[in-house]
Amino acid sequence: MSGLQTIWPPGTECVARYNFAGTTEQDLPLCKGDVLTIIGVTKDPNWYKAKNSVGQEGTIPANYVQKREGVKSGGKLSLMPWFHGKITRDQAERLLYPPETGLFLVRESTNYPGDYTLCVSCDGKVEHYRIIYLNGKLSIDEEEYFENLMQLVEHYTKDADGLCTRLIKPKLMEGTVAAQDEFSKSGWAISRKELKLIQSIGKGEFGDVMVGDYRGTKVAVKCIKHDATANAFIAEASVMTRLRHNNLVQLLGVVMEETGSLFIVTEYMAKGSLVDYLRSRGRSVIGGDCLLKFSLDVCEAMEYLEDNNFVHRDLAARNVLVSEDNIAKVSDFGLTKEASSTQDTAKLPVKWTSPEALREKKFSTKSDVWSYGILLWEIYSFGRVPYPRIPLKDVVPRVEKGYKMDAPDGCPPAVYEIMKLCWTLDPVARPSFRVLREKMEHIRTSELHL
């Protein structure tokens, strides 16, 4: 990058691309990978004034940093853009035409369901190699075994190892973009060398969750190993690159390793999930002011999502985490979509999901508002499961007839009124998160004056 194409406004986040020791006292030394915030431009437009994550300020050379942006999901992000799914042998050969040695794709095997086929163009013709799926591992020659397709492709990219040629150029599936390139380009790629994994703290839907150390900071790391879940995970990470709020769990970066492992690195939330926090401490430890603050924290996060046209779709106390200093932050953006997209309802939690979302797959900020009402009930009942004593199959029919849960013991009437507003059957009549936040703040100020 020579000179400056555009001048970045104050508040822009950027990442150091190189080390910079500084030449004067005014300079801010950089290590490759440092995240910085631009404060302003200097008299020389090739230099910015910036501050680093620990608050030190100084000047930095503009061409040493890369602007950090939300990952665009214009095309379909894929960790395996060379995977074409169910296509025939003939279709694969047509896709690899005109022949170019080393051009390749992977498809599902037509003759051996459950296996794959690696198709490689070589010396003017296409070779098809069966990838055998054996005891959870993949192999072409039954000598080398791989955890997943990403690992296998990576191996043969480095070395032909018995194939007619090494894999040189992937034939991308139409409409897909390589996720690795997009995350690097947007400044979110983290080097594996800088991440130390310390211990497992739980299992998520996609893989293990671990405590790690990234450049001296304690972090949470989601580790994914399977092809199928990796792409869903990339969708979650790309959403997180576009969101920034004090009550949302912050993404720090993504490691996409050649070994086919994927790590999503986020801030570490020392006190775990809100539901566990409420259950383990209970009424004797947590006062009403604390419950109200958690409720407001979540509401502010949801107002931010509402303003930015995102629908969470899975809001519940289990998906809210609590930091060391007792700040509640919404996490788990696995189902979060821009408001315009549709969603399959296979994995939806019935007790937290609004009737119209369950029945007609109609998701909106207003369906999130319904879930927020359930979350408030969870907070004020110290983590009880909603709709106690009602069999799961009866919940939806009763709710659609107008049933609303009773107030939890000790819940302030004003908070219970808010829950009931959230559970209005007509989504249009439910309040927005902005209105809910104003109501919660009003309750908070009136309690402070008591």
Q: What is the mean pLDDT of residues 166-189?
A: 89
Band of residue 347 on the pLDDT scale cut at 50, 70, 90:
low
Question: What is the structure's pLDDT at 5?
Answer: 53
- Min mean pLDDT across 33-37, 109-113, 219-223, 339-343 is at 339-343
Concatenated DSSP letters of 373-418: HHHHHHHHTTSPPSSTTS-HHHHHHHHHTT--PPPPTT--HHHHHH
- Min mean pLDDT across 78-87, 174-183, 347-356 is at 174-183
CATH number of the domain bearing residue 320: 1.10.510.10
Q: What is the mean pLDDT of residues 128-145?
A: 91
For residue 403, being part of any structural domain is answered with: yes
- How far apart, in whole angstroms, are the C-alpha atoms of residue 139 and residue 134? 8
Residues 251 and 308 in one domain: no
Residues 245 and 296 in one domain: no
pLDDT in tens, 384-427: 999 999 999 999 999 999 999 999 999 999 999 999 999 999 99
Q: Please state, for a pLDDT cut of 90, what percent of the chain lies above it.
A: 64
pTM: 0.80
Residues 232 and 106 in one domain: no
Residues 368 and 387 in one domain: yes
- Min mean pLDDT across 145-154, 246-255, 365-374 is at 145-154
Is 222 annotated as contributing to ligand binding? yes
For residue 347, being part of any structural domain is answered with: yes
Q: What is the mean pLDDT of residues 140-149?
A: 90
- Choosing from 170, 186, 218, the residue where a domain stops is 170
For residue 9, being part of any structural domain is answered with: no
> 417: domain range?
273-446
Question: What is the structure's pLDDT at 1?
Answer: 39
Question: What is the structure's pLDDT at 78?
Answer: 84
Band of residue 338 on the pLDDT scale cut at 50, 70, 90:
low
CATH number of the domain bearing residue 144: 3.30.505.10
Residues 338 and 425 in one domain: yes
Mean pLDDT of the chain: 89
For residue 100, being part of any structural domain is answered with: yes
Question: What is the structure's pLDDT at 83?
Answer: 92
- Paired sense of beta strands 103-108 and 169-170, if any: parallel
Judged against a pLDDT cut of 70, whether residue 2 lies above it is answered with no
Question: What is the structure's pLDDT at 307?
Answer: 95
Residues 437 and 309 in one domain: yes
Question: What is the structure's pLDDT at 3?
Answer: 44
- Contact indicator for 220, 197 with CB cutoff of 8 Å: no
Question: What is the structure's pLDDT at 180?
Answer: 82
For residue 410, being part of any structural domain is answered with: yes
For residue 182, being part of any structural domain is answered with: no
Band of residue 364 on the pLDDT scale cut at 50, 70, 90:
very high
- Choosing from 267, 299, 314, the residue where a domain stops is 267
Question: What is the structure's pLDDT at 302?
Answer: 97
Residues with active-site annotation: 314
Residues 49 and 119 in one domain: no
Three-class SS state of 212: strand
- Choosing from 237, 267, 297, the residue where a domain stops is 267
For residue 56, being part of any structural domain is answered with: yes
- Cβ-based neighbours of 379, under 8 Å, separated by 6 or more: 274, 278, 291, 294, 295, 317
Judged against a pLDDT cut of 90, whether residue 240 lies above it is answered with no
CATH number of the domain bearing residue 209: 3.30.200.20
Residues 279 and 413 in one domain: yes
- Looking at per-residue pLDDT, the higher value among 382 and 359 belongs to 382
- How far apart, in whole angstroms, are the C-alpha atoms of residue 188 and residue 14? 10
Question: What is the structure's pLDDT at 426?
Answer: 96
Band of residue 341 on the pLDDT scale cut at 50, 70, 90:
very low
Residues 289 and 420 in one domain: yes
DSSP lists the bridge partners of residue 210 as: 200, 221
Q: Please state, for a pLDDT cut of 70, what percent of the chain lies above it.
A: 92
Q: What is the mean pLDDT of residues 207-231?
A: 83
Query: What is the distance of C-alpha 68 from the center of its chain?
Result: 16
Residues 129 and 208 in one domain: no
Question: What is the structure's pLDDT at 282?
Answer: 86
Question: What is the structure's pLDDT at 214?
Answer: 94
Q: What is the mean pLDDT of residues 40-46?
A: 88
Residues 228 and 316 in one domain: no
Residues 307 and 433 in one domain: yes
Band of residue 135 on the pLDDT scale cut at 50, 70, 90:
confident
Judged against a pLDDT cut of 80, whether residue 238 lies above it is answered with yes
Q: 3-state DSSP helix/strand/coil percent for the chain, to nearest 5?
A: 30, 25, 45
For residue 349, being part of any structural domain is answered with: yes
If one counts the domains in the chain, the total is 4
